[in-house]
Amino acid sequence: MVRLEIAGNLPPAGSSVEESQKYTRWLATHHYENFSVATFLLPRALRQHFYNIYAYCRWSDDLADEVGSPEAALELLDWWEEELCRCYAGNSTHPVFIALRETIRRFDIPQSPFSDLLKAFRSDQTVTRYPNWESVIDYCRYSANPVGCLVLYLGEYRDTERQTLSGYTCTALQLANFWQDVSRDLEKGRIYIPLDMLSAYGLTEADIIERRFDERYAGLMRDLIARTRDLFDRGMPLTRMVSRNLRIDIQLFSHGGLAVLDAIESVRYNTLQQRPHLSGAKKLRLIGRAVGTHLFSRTA
């Protein structure tokens, strides 16, 4: 088995639920500061369940992207899905699944969102180009939307309307990350910008690979950002259809995604040669806004 950073504090196979949950809590709170802030705003009873889901997603992501070989990644993802099946059968011994099993049982979560995520990670090993907008959106249905489904299950929301709205928000978040990470994805040999949109703006794959930034690329990025903002807008009604605690988390991530789009605009759309990021001050304002809304809603 490839040795991953995330396995550094992993307890032995067959560990107790308590030990397993301690590990997923450590993993979530040491690897993703925004996730820690978001879960801080949740009721204490839900936090551990968020940690358990995060641990599954983090392991899936690292098995796909941190092993250095598509062949090895596919083999590991197959092993991970076998562990997922064993979890649903009640006999997995991996600590992540020992912890996750408690969440699955408590909220009656189906296996499909977890399996869908693995479809996206497998796709990344073999698919590095997307012919059109629809193919990118379809990828997001597997890479991002299942996470929103899982969050809604924790809120005990199972209806199609909320799941659809969540899908808009999650897709928009994934797209914002794609447009922010064009230069980083190029290092992995991946281009998520639809090829037909490149052509429509007079660009080729070679222009992207060679990082030729000009007004054509800026125009393309403006178009992509406009489409992504529209998806964020379409998902916003969800915040009025969930409990106060989940509402704050959804708002935090949505506004964070919109802030990423603002950051891209602030560098004049040049994501070919740099990766725009949120400043510490901007992150603090977003967090302060979320916390302030949370506190106000408790006293209103």
Checking if the pLDDT of 300 tops 50, the result is no
For position 19, what pLDDT does the model report?
Answer: 97
Q: Round to whole Å and give the CA distance between 151 and 69.
A: 31
Confidence of residue 83 (pLDDT cuts 50, 70, 90): very high
For position 5, what pLDDT does the model report?
Answer: 81
Confidence of residue 8 (pLDDT cuts 50, 70, 90): confident
For position 126, what pLDDT does the model report?
Answer: 95
Q: Round to whole Å and give the CA distance between 282 and 158.
A: 34
More confident residue, 236 or 298: 236
Above pLDDT 90, what percent of the chain? 77
For 105-153, how does the pLDDT look when each residue is reduced to its tens digit (9 = 90+)? Answer: 999 999 999 999 999 999 999 999 999 999 999 999 999 999 999 999 9
Taking Cα atoms as reference points, which of 163, 143, 139, 169 lies closest to residue 230?
169
For 180-189, how does the pLDDT look when each residue is reduced to its tens digit (9 = 90+)? Answer: 999 999 999 9
The identity of residue 194, as a single letter, is P
Confidence of residue 68 (pLDDT cuts 50, 70, 90): confident
Average pLDDT for the chain: 90
The identity of residue 200, as a single letter, is A
Do the Cβ atoms of 13 and 93 come closer than 8 Å?
A: yes
For position 34, what pLDDT does the model report?
Answer: 45
CA-derived radius of gyration, the chain: 20
For 233-279, how does the pLDDT look when each residue is reduced to its tens digit (9 = 90+)? Answer: 999 999 999 988 788 888 888 988 999 999 999 999 999 999 998 76
> Residue 226, SS3?
helix
Q: Round to whole Å and give the CA distance between 252 and 50.
A: 15
Q: Round to whole Å and give the CA distance between 167 and 182.
A: 22
Taking Cα atoms as reference points, which of 175, 229, 219 lies closest to residue 197?
219
Query: How far apart are the two ends of the chain, measured CA to CA in Å?
Result: 53
* Alpha-carbon dihedral 54, 138, 262, 276, rounded to 10 degrees: 70
For position 30, what pLDDT does the model report?
Answer: 80
Two tokens at 28?
A: 């979530």
Confidence of residue 29 (pLDDT cuts 50, 70, 90): confident
Domains and CATH numbers, the chain: 14-109 (1.10.600.10), 127-292 (1.10.600.10)
